[in-house]
Copies of this chain bind each other. A is one copy, B any other.
Amino acid sequence: MKQLQEKILTDGKVLSESVLKVDSFLNHQIDPSLMHEIGDEFAARFGNEAITKILTIESSGIAPAVMLGLNLGVPVVFARKRKSLTLVDQLYTASVHSFTKNETNEISVSKDFIKSDDVVLIIDDFLANGQAALGLVDIVEQADAALAGIGIVIEKGFQTGGSMIRNRGIRVESLAIISSMANGKVEFHQEVPSV
């Protein structure tokens, strides 16, 4: 997605060969217009999948997921990273380790909101080692729902998550795939036209 790649190049900050900070439009400050475009792009890629529910994880997945949900006319569910006192039973849970934050979170989704007749599309902001995405896949499987695929805003193509998940036969669509951040310079995989 050309507009997203340009935004990453102009506003992203490469902190190391593996850490990209996009706090100015995705992870802390949010560019609603870009999120709207991202939602439309996900809809174009997954719109023929009869999706009934979008599943994401708090907090940075919510904005792109809600814009996609508006486009497709389906609800969004965000997995919580901690249990809330008003939501203590009837949960699907999975453990997700964040290498960035060096911590393991229990993520949870109420059984009320993912059912076995749902066709679920997972949306997340980043795909690196794939732990968050796999935790969400785990929850979809626990619910015995169908998984339409995974839509990612920014994939770190030089990390193993993307290939690991695709090797499981899961469709992954990433709107920007970074091939390298060596020497402080972001380089993208060439855009492969969708079939």
Contacts and interface: CB of A to CB of B under 8 A. Distances in A.
Interface string A109-146: 11011000000000000000000000000000000000
B113 A100 contact: no
10 contacts: A23-B110, A24-B112, A28-B78, A28-B80, A30-B76, A32-B66, A32-B73, A32-B76, A62-B63, A85-B102
Interface of A: 15, 19, 21, 23-25, 28-33, 35-36, 58-59, 62-63, 65-67, 69-70, 73-78, 80, 84-87, 100-102, 109-110, 112-113
Indicate how many identical chains form the complex: 2
Given A30-B69, A66-B67, A100 B75 contact: no
A28 B70 contact: no
